[in-house]
Amino acid sequence: MYAIEKELKILRQFISPKHMDGLKKWNCYSEDEISATEKRLHVKLPIPIRDIYRHMADLLVTGGYLRPLELLHWEGKYLGFFLAPGEGDIIGIKKGKTSGDLYIWEENDPKEMAWEYEDELETACEAGDEDGKRKAVAAYQSYWKRRNIPFIHAPLNIHKQDCGPRFNHSLDGYGLFLAIHAIREWEEMMWHEHTDEATCLFSDFFPVKFSKEYFQNIADRIKDDFNPLSDHSELIDLGDFPLRMAYVHKNQEALLILGQEPVCFMLLTKTAAGGNLLERVQEQTGLAFHVGF
């Protein structure tokens, strides 16, 4: 299991300042806040999770992919951090396991009370109501404590994630995947408000008919200027597909993210994409990049 702080710091550079107002509802967490949570939970959080809460919590909590640190709680032997995109299932770890294996389950909340406290916390955060936040968190934690002592309601449909590329079943890979996914989703949602600045460009979609050799050729050609986001390539591996999830420019001028189904590149730059950089990327990939879809 790897630390992913380096990768998250690179990704952080490409969350455009013009989008940050939309992330102010949640903050990233301090070391002191993480330590206090560990004391409450009686467990040392895995390093990749600590990295995520310190460097990407605002984006992932706002996007609905990460549980706020204040709401972390044990459900029997399981501790859930993530909400699976589009599914609503909880993804987390099992007590006593240190391998970074992921488990997925349905939260067992037959009284359907937990979401009410979550809504109260969100409302208080939006209003800047610190007292309201404390009350909502206290009520939420008290609710789950009652359900766990004695523990009679196990999570539902628990199973271990153990198939496919590493990002599907390991804590470090999945955390990095979610950060990349959330940045891509955020930019796709916001691009139309700032099309004149052109810091987010899209390639055309690839038809299914393109061969693996075609994509391998792109992977080989971009090596001159782009490196995979992580030195641990298995974290961003897409199985038997030649390209990785994300590439960063050799001097960190740009971030190249690969979307799937259908395949499409997103090119993110810190400032408006300059002619030389854009021309070089288009030459390397053989693709035309443009604003919007």
Answer yes or no: is pLDDT of 32 > 70.
yes
Residues 126 and 26: beta-carbon distance below 8 Å: no
Residue 19, pLDDT score = 63
pLDDT digits (tens, 9 = 90+) for 91-108: 999 988 777 899 999 888
In the DSSP assignment, the letter for residue 51 is H
What is the C-alpha separation between 75 and 60, in angstroms, rounded? 22
- Site of tokens 């990704």: 11
Look at residue 8 and give its three-state secondary structure: helix
Report the percentage of the chain scoring pLDDT > 90: 37
Q: Determine the average pLDDT of the residues in 179-199.
A: 74
Q: How confident is the model at residue 255 (pLDDT cuts 50, 70, 90)?
A: very high
User: Which residues fall within 8 angstroms of residue 219, CB to CB, at 6 or more apart?
Assistant: 242, 243, 244
Residues 180 and 260: beta-carbon distance below 8 Å: no
Answer yes or no: is pLDDT of 123 > 90.
no
Model confidence, pTM: 0.89
Answer yes or no: is pLDDT of 83 > 60.
yes
Other C-beta atoms closer than 10 Å to the C-beta of 124 total: 18
Higher pLDDT, 185 or 245: 245
Answer yes or no: is pLDDT of 213 > 90.
no
Average pLDDT, the chain: 85
Phi-psi region of 77 (alpha: psi -120 to 50; beta: other; left: phi over 0): alpha
Q: How confident is the model at residue 73 (pLDDT cuts 50, 70, 90)?
A: very high
Residue 192, pLDDT score = 58
Q: How confident is the model at residue 285 (pLDDT cuts 50, 70, 90)?
A: confident
Q: Determine the average pLDDT of the residues in 111-124.
A: 83
Q: Which of 16-20, 26-30, 86-90, 134-138 has the least mean pLDDT?
A: 16-20
Higher pLDDT, 115 or 104: 104
What is the C-alpha separation between 65 and 88, in angstroms, rounded? 9
Residue 198, pLDDT score = 60
How many helices (H) and strands (E) in the chain?
Answer: 9, 11
Answer yes or no: is pLDDT of 284 > 70.
yes
DSSP state string for 139-179: HHHHHHHHHHTTB--PPEEEEEE-SSSGGGTBHHHHHHHHH
pLDDT digits (tens, 9 = 90+) for 139-158: 989 888 887 776 666 788 88
Task: Judge if the upstream peptide bond of residue 48 is cis by omega within 30 degrees of 0.
Answer: no
What is the C-alpha separation between 265 and 205, in angstroms, rounded? 8
Residue 40, pLDDT score = 94
Q: Determine the average pLDDT of the residues in 1-12.
A: 94
- Site of tokens 């993110």: 268
Residues 4 and 52: beta-carbon distance below 8 Å: yes
